[in-house]
């Protein structure tokens, strides 16, 4: 006989403490001491890849602000989630730092000065986010499930984006750096996916809320803080063309495997919308066209010979 009050829900199966423990113990600052950042002086990246890296630097460096919004929800009551988040934000910080070193090697602003400039331009609604997240968490027991599913989608998309950038830039030093970042993103994917799946599997309410939230509010990673035109250009650069579309569809198929989230086509639709937006407006000078620049060709030649 159940002793639950009629309005109470049975708790979802507990987290796997071994998995969280392993993730936390493996967490580390990204190893870059042996990355030859000096190689960019002899063989710089082209304007398109640099533009993409600026975007990635800014979004990775903003992770601590995303953490602010997560911790005002019921997520802070789950010690497995908070142990992961502590390591997650640390690792993401160093992703931003490593990308910043690539930008600095090209004479570009990076690090705290760049992050400070971005934070001055955040929309006014950014100040309301902790309030909205806190309120949402008070009203629904499924907000943490939404965060976990949202995190899985973002980490899949980010990892796929780095893979696409490595392929498009054709620079062996950048490719090695991104390979290391992608490996850590893979661990973030493992955690978010497992946490999302166990919550979605246990609750029809969580499935409904996640589906509606993703369908109505999800946008490409960074779209909450970056200018819309920049989001469109970077999305088209990474996920346009046959190989890009295939990568976007692979992410959508991963989302399809989570309970209640089948058939959303989130990434495919976002890329389609971004492409239409990028086409409808002139691309500024540092644009991300599909042109094969001399630099990219040299980089590929360097990759082939290494």
Residues in contact with Fe ion by CB under 5 A are: 60, 92, 95, 155, 185, 188
What is the Cα–Cα distance from 203 to 200, expressed in whole angstroms?
6
* Shortest distance, position 239 Cβ to Fe ion, whole Å: 17
* Shortest distance, position 158 Cβ to Fe ion, whole Å: 6
What is the Cα–Cα distance from 188 to 27, expressed in whole angstroms?
10
CB-CB contact of 249 with 184 (8 Å): no
Q: Residue 180 or 277: which CB sits closer to Fe ion? A: 180
* Shortest distance, position 256 Cβ to Fe ion, whole Å: 21
What secondary structure letter does DSSP report for 259?
T
Q: Residue 98 or 278: which CB sits closer to Fe ion? A: 98
What secondary structure letter does DSSP report for 127?
G
* Shortest distance, position 141 Cβ to Fe ion, whole Å: 26
For the record, the structure tokens of 281 come out as 């407006």
* Shortest distance, position 101 Cβ to Fe ion, whole Å: 15
* Other residues' Cβ atoms within 10 Å of the Cβ of residue 117: 11
Torsion of CA 280, 285, 288, 289, to 10 degrees: 70
Q: Residue 92 or 230: which CB sits closer to Fe ion? A: 92
Q: Residue 85 or 264: which CB sits closer to Fe ion? A: 85
* Shortest distance, position 56 Cβ to Fe ion, whole Å: 8
Task: Residue 181: name the closest of 37, 40, 55, 32 by CA.
Answer: 32
* Shortest distance, position 59 Cβ to Fe ion, whole Å: 8
What secondary structure letter does DSSP report for 261?
-
Torsion of CA 236, 154, 112, 118, to 10 degrees: 60
* Shortest distance, position 183 Cβ to Fe ion, whole Å: 11
* Other residues' Cβ atoms within 10 Å of the Cβ of residue 4: 9
Q: Residue 70 or 209: which CB sits closer to Fe ion? A: 70
Residue with tokens 């010979």: 305
Residues 6+ apart with CB under 8 A from 100: 57, 61, 110, 111, 114
Q: Residue 209 or 214: which CB sits closer to Fe ion? A: 214
Torsion of CA 124, 161, 133, 225, to 10 degrees: 0
Q: Residue 69 or 92: which CB sits closer to Fe ion? A: 92
- Per-residue b or e along 158-168, where b marks 16 or more CB atoms closer than 10 Å to that residue's CB: bbbbbbbbbeb
What is the Cα–Cα distance from 75 to 141, expressed in whole angstroms?
10
Q: Residue 161 or 244: which CB sits closer to Fe ion? A: 161
């Amino acid at each position: 006989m159940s002793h639950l009050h009629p309005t109470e829900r049975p708790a979802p199966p507990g987290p796997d403490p071994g998995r969280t423990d392993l993730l936390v113990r493996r967490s580390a600052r990204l190893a870059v001491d042996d990355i030859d950042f000096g190689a960019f002086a002899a063989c710089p990246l082209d304007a398109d890849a640099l533009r993409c890296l600026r975007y990635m630097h800014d979004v990775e460096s903003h992770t601590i602000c995303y953490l602010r919004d997560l911790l005002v929800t019921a997520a802070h009551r789950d010690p497995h989630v908070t142990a992961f988040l502590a390591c997650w934000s640390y690792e993401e910080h160093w992703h931003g730092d490593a990308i910043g070193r690539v930008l600095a090697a090209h004479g570009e602003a990076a690090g705290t000065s760049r992050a400070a400039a971005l934070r001055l331009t955040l929309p006014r609604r950014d100040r309301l986010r902790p309030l909205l997240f806190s309120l949402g968490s008070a009203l629904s027991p499924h907000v943490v499930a939404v965060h976990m599913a949202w995190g899985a989608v973002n980490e899949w998309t980010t990892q796929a984006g780095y893979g696409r950038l490595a392929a498009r830039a054709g620079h062996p030093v950048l490719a090695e750096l991104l390979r290391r970042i992608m490996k850590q993103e893979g661990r973030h994917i493992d955690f978010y996916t497992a946490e999302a799946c166990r919550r979605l599997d246990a609750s029809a309410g969580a499935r409904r809320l996640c589906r509606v939230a993703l369908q109505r509010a999800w946008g490409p990673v960074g779209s909450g803080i970056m200018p819309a035109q920049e989001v469109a250009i970077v999305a088209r650069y990474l996920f346009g063309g046959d190989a890009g579309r295939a990568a976007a569809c692979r992410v959508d198929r991963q989302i399809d495997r989570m309970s209640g989230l089948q058939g959303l086509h989130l990434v495919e639709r976002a890329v389609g919308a971004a492409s239409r937006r990028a086409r409808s407006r002139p691309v500024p000078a540092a644009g991300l066209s599909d042109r094969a620049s001399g630099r990219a060709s040299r980089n590929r030649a360097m990759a082939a010979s290494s």
